Amino acid sequence: MKVLLPPALALVVLLNSCDGGGRAVPRPEGYPRIALYEAVYRSDSIGPVIFESNAGTAVTERRQGADGTGWLTLAYPRYGATLYLTASPATASTLGGIIDNRLERISLNIGGATTELTELTGKGGWHGRVTLTPSGSATPLQILATSPRGDCVVSGALFLEGAATATSPDSLAPALEAVRDDLIHAVNALR
């Protein structure tokens, strides 16, 4: 009987602690889940380029410069974010300078934080880079893509509004991953 007493006592304690009648105890902090946009896309133009953007976004600005440069601003209202895009015409003599300028801007926006880089070549031959800096940046997502002929560069950055930057990185992660997927889709579909 002496041998069975400790296991029997442990079993009684275990069964009494699992009565199922206890109430759930909330965590000290809770973060709301952000409702994600569906992966449904529409075609938008930026200068001479067709850019597929998430159908849930709102076009808040579209401009065309005399030199052929185009600007497109897309709002992601649920995420408190705005995507600023530019399509810049390029020539063999200006392409390197445009790319260097954009890479410098991306580097400054990242500011030494840990960043995920996705490089791909889209179906239309565009070579693209999408960077994701999950925390500590007001511009956590950036894009840079060059046309197969080297005559156009598309660049952009997702800017988080004030309240969004104060939100926990864990809470923003699903939204940032969804926008990253939108940008990867866009590079694949550039034409």
pLDDT at residue 136 is higher than 90: no
CATH for 41-174+181-189?
Answer: 3.40.1000
Task: Dump pLDDT digits (tens) for 16-70.
Answer: 665 556 676 666 665 667 899 999 999 999 999 999 999 999 999 999 999 999 9
User: CA of 163: how far to CAs of 78, 113, 123, 155, in Å?
Assistant: 12, 20, 37, 25
User: So where are the chain's domains?
Assistant: 41-174+181-189
Task: Find where tokens 């309240």 sit.
Answer: 163
Host H or E run for residue 86: strand 81-89
Cα-Cα-Cα-Cα torsion 53, 75, 184, 133, nearest 10 degrees, comes to 180
pLDDT at residue 177 is higher than 90: yes
Q: What is the average pLDDT score of the chain?
A: 88
pLDDT of residue 168: 63
DSSP helix, strand, coil percent of the chain (3-state; round to 5): 30, 30, 35
Can you tell me the distance from the alpha carbon of 171 to that of 164, in angstroms, rounded to the nearest whole number? 10
Task: Dump pLDDT digits (tens) for 59-111.
Answer: 999 999 999 999 999 999 999 999 999 999 999 999 999 999 999 999 999 98
